[in-house]
Amino acid sequence: MIATALALLADALVIIGVLIMTVAVYGAFRMPDIYTRLHATSKAVFLGVISILLASVVTGQRAIIYRVVLIGIFLILTTPVSAHAIARAAYLRDERMRTPGAVDESGHDLPADPDG
């Protein structure tokens, strides 16, 4: 009975993780600029992968749980850093925000938007 419940929980976590990552892929194509794309993908992919990692914990095997914990810690540390590095590079290349109503509060004047 408990084994069946754990298997269903693991399946549900995998499905939730895949759905969250699918939303992230959709966000990467749908969002208008690099900054909103980064927001959608970094948050959603992180949550999706963590959900799948939690499904791996259900196995109860110590070796798998240790690996999952290490992968989770690695993601917690690297996802925000990589998203920040990509956003900073886009900002330094004068990539403008294309989101309607976006305001640049940096105090720096960016060149005029060539698209519009």
pLDDT in tens, 49-65: 889 888 888 888 888 88
Q: CA angle at residue 71 from 10 to 55, to 5 degrees?
A: 0
Task: Give a yes or no: residue 52 inside a domain.
Answer: yes
Task: Give a yes or no: residue 108 inside a domain.
Answer: no
Task: Give a yes or no: residue 37 inside a domain.
Answer: yes
Mean pLDDT of the chain: 84
Task: Give a yes or no: residue 87 inside a domain.
Answer: yes
Q: What is 1-27 written as a DSSP string?
A: -HHHHHHHHHHHHHHHHHHHHHHHHHH
Q: How many domains, in total, are found in the chain?
A: 1
- Where in the sequence is the domain holding 78, given as residue range(s)? 2-92
Task: Give a yes or no: residue 61 inside a domain.
Answer: yes
Taking the model in full, what pTM does it have? Answer: 0.73
Task: Give a yes or no: residue 42 inside a domain.
Answer: yes
Task: Give a yes or no: residue 82 inside a domain.
Answer: yes
Q: How far apart are CA 116 and CA 105, in angstroms?
A: 20
